[in-house]
Structure 1
């Protein structure tokens, strides 16, 4: 199809484009796209490429750190509860580990004749020895640990209401 508008240049361009196949057109677009993005990588990521090939550090896979203004502080609310400075100390984590150890011990000591209510009473006794952890943000994790340990030793785990009553 030749459009003639009085300009021989338009006729030559139209005639030239009629001879280009879709395959040639797509190959040309892919080549130009590859060249463009290669230039972008070289232009803006030259230092990262050098560091990567020298083996200094893998900058492409490093996690981004939030700006200093967005970092979590110990008094920020997590899971609808506030973590105070005393809860965030090593003493609290030591107490949590001690509680978990005693709970696991009670669950694994359970003999076949003891019964589920006897186990719940033993667990309640252990938990009441740690009143400072009652309102801890770690309480859901401790509850999950109790359920998983009961399932591990093939004891029917306590339901949600029984877990709430333990505390």
Structure 2
């Protein structure tokens, strides 16, 4: 799947109008590309994710919070936003990588919360606490399924011990009878 490659053109010359058009275009692009970028609530915000800069000589550039300066060039008298979109399609944008990492952490927490809702309260608390101690949600050695005995696991362990003892008694009784 390719990101939408529509080139946005700006025919308006007033800085406030240009800014409003750019921000609307960015908002629309984010909505169109959030699934492809694997971001559930993808909405780039001016000042939070980028800054829009106008120069005295009529040039416009955007500075991403990752530090990259993105020039918006004029083509036939109209500003093009394709450089801005291209920047976010590249995997080298650390700001976008951070957004994707945060989204993955939120998704892991939602998944753990759904699992915890199906567990008894004590196991549920332990699962959520262990995920808070290990926020990546992966490789949780202290998860309830491996460390906290539940009533079911205690009963299962007791039954296995009893079965093992019974089978040992049967084996030793049959050996005595053969002698």
Which structure: greater helix fraction?
1
Q: Which structure has the larger Rg?
A: 1
TM exceeding 0.5: no
TM-score by length of 2: 0.27
TM-score by length of 1: 0.28
